[in-house]
Structure 1
């Protein structure tokens, strides 16, 4: 039997139930469907990690040294189970000298020392005055 409210309206629970059910159906139809789960690909994670580590260990680049185009190259190596770096710096087209450094634990120190070694050789060749190269020595 239907109940009456204090205002005198006759309330039935059926219209309210239908509206709740229809709203639920609409929400279910509009909700995005879940994507199927994919297995965890450990080989892809390891590959990405290895590529990142290798890119950071091996480094090649260009620099402007005393107004000339120069390049540097850094690479790691292991000695007695410790990681060390060696580096080379060259200025093709300006000098045939090759600045080298080895046995550095810090990669930036290896590059800096190779550049310093190259500048010392260039000064010894007489291509630049020692005063001009002072900031690189």
Structure 2
């Protein structure tokens, strides 16, 4: 789902909450806050460490055939141009698949040994 769509929905809910009479405003404000918090939670932007190298990891939601999917990306600037990528329906599952894709590509390029790759993957399981 695009950020602009989610922002528009959050803005609309907030405007409705602000226009609600004072006696009901607390209920709408709580709903709006919970909705915005849930929507923002779909995105992740984190840092992780791989064999002494700082790496970035992001997850972004998108809609495909009216279903919510997550796209993960992992890259390590300053070390290698390799990018790990994966898409799944599971927000937690995309992290593991993205890391696995990155480590497999790094192994194939000879940046890490099979033992290092396996140890890192086992530590993230």
Q: By the TM > 0.5 criterion, same fold?
A: yes
String of CA shifts for 1:63-120, please: whole Å, max 9, x gaps: 1112211111001111122111110011111111110001x12111111111111111
User: Which residue in 2 is equivalent to 1:51?
Assistant: 36
Structure 2 Cα separation of the partners of residues 96 and 44 of structure 1: 45
Structure 2 Cα separation of the partners of residues 95 and 54 of structure 1: 32
Structure 2 Cα separation of the partners of residues 40 and 97 of structure 1: 52
**Which of 101, 113, 117 in structure 2 is aligned with 1:117?**
101
**Structure with the higher helix share, 1 or 2:** 2
- Consecutive unaligned residues in structure 1, runs of 5 or more: 1-37
Structure scoring higher RCO (CA < 8 A, sep ≥ 6) equals 2
The number of residues matched between the two structures is 99
SS of corresponding position for 2:98: helix
- Structure having the higher Rg: 1
Q: TM-score, normalised by structure 1?
A: 0.65
RMSD, matched Cα: 1.7
Shift >2 Å, 4+ stretches: 42-47
Q: TM-score, normalised by structure 2?
A: 0.71
